[in-house]
Homo-oligomer: A and B are copies of this chain.
Amino acid sequence: MDRQVVWGFLGAAGIAEKNWASVQRSGNGILKFVGSRDVAKAQAFIDRCQASAPFEKAPEAVEGYEEILADPEIDAVYIPLPTGLRKDWVIRAAEAGKHVLCEKPCAPKAADLEEMIAACEANQVQFMDGVMFMHNPRLSEIVKVVEKGDELGKLRRIESCFSFFGEDDFSDNIRVNSKLEPLGALGDLGWYCVRMSLCCCEGDLPVRVRATLFEEKNGVPVDLRGDLIFSDSRTASFHCSFNTTLEQSCRISGTKGALTLDDFVLPCDNQKAAFTIERQEEVGEGSNFSTRSLNREVELTGEAESQKTLLFRNFGKLVLRGERDSYWPEISLLTQRVMDALLESALGDGGMVELD
């Protein structure tokens, strides 16, 4: 067997359950440890996951995370801890020489993330955030369409939304705990909208942003709109909310056409990854423009594997090659800087906040 990346999970959260299967399917990784403050919780997690997606050798449950970082066999750690706790453990993992796959939002503030990334760089380990759609081949196809421009024309606008409805007992949820998840819906959901916008704008930072806070709970945004103003007449807006039904649509519009996808975060179907391009036929005088649009369904079949598997496989490839790719920490930091500015606007008077 080829050499495998040996993983440890710092935490047994719900999201880690999904990612257990991703490591298992990655083909280049094995999971050695699952750590939790409560070892019984880690063991129960392992039993549950092992029943549905078993590793040849069942991972071990450990109490806390130190033992994982101390183990010389461990190459990489996945950190699904709450945002408020990530900084410390990312830095300790880096100092222990472990590569770090970190859930998003990576940190409460960009300044925290800068320290985290600096620690990874000083210790020559890879940093990457857990945005799965970055690894979907659909994204690179979309970016190609945007950059090529023959179908969409000049990029003008990215409009996206990501929301789900939290039931009445939602105010006890960790997602609205101001210590653990201070960015609330902005970090949990808006992170994807901002990232998608940055990807369409080739990683340019917006010149300025503003946010309208529609609702907060426990001092945490739960329903918010953001506007990002880039150079060259490009703008992006998004809505993220725990108050509205599940939505995850994105529309990328240019001067000549628009590209839409209704499942930009979590594709509805892992076997294909479609998007639609509509182009206006013509605009006549007065209000006599034609409204028939020319739809083009683009179905990508290429790599028929889920983006969550590709996230772990791609990370694993870097580790096994002994390469580090600076794109990943850079795009996380840009995203986090936009978060800072949006939160400043949202918690202030909703005015424009400049980025530099």
Question: Which residues does A use to contact B, with CB under 8 Å?
Answer: 13-18, 152-153, 156-157, 159, 161, 163-165, 210, 212, 214-215, 223, 225, 227, 229, 233, 235, 237, 239, 241, 243-249, 251, 253-258, 262-263, 265-268, 279-280, 283-289, 291-293, 349-352
Residue of B16, B159, B246, B292 near A161 (CB, 8 A) is B159
Chain B residue contacts of A284, Cβ below 8 A: 14
Residue of B233, B258, B262 near A243 (CB, 8 A) is B233
Known A-B contacts A153-B245, A249-B251; the reply to A237 vs B210 at CB < 8 A is: no
Chain B residue contacts of A267, Cβ below 8 A: 291
Nearest opposing residue in chain B for A166, CB measure: B283
Q: Is the CB of B258 within 8 A of A253?
A: no
Q: Is the CB of B214 within 8 A of A229?
A: yes
Whole-angstrom CA separation of A287 from B223 in the bound complex: 18
Whole-angstrom CA separation of A287 from B13 in the bound complex: 10
Residue of B14, B237, B268 near A225 (CB, 8 A) is B237
Min CB distance A120 to B, Å, is: 24
Q: Is the CB of B164 within 8 A of A280?
A: yes
Min CB distance A90 to B, Å, is: 19
Chain B residue contacts of A239, Cβ below 8 A: 157, 159, 237
Chain B residue contacts of A255, Cβ below 8 A: 165, 243-245
Q: Is the CB of A246 within 8 A of B15?
A: no
Chain B residue contacts of A212, Cβ below 8 A: 210, 227
Chain B residue contacts of A249, Cβ below 8 A: 251
Known A-B contacts A214-B229, A245-B153, A350-B351; the reply to A291 vs B279 at CB < 8 A is: no
Q: Is the CB of B287 within 8 A of A258?
A: no
Q: Is the CB of B244 within 8 A of A215?
A: no
Whole-angstrom CA separation of A241 from B284 in the bound complex: 16
Q: Is the CB of B227 within 8 A of A225?
A: yes
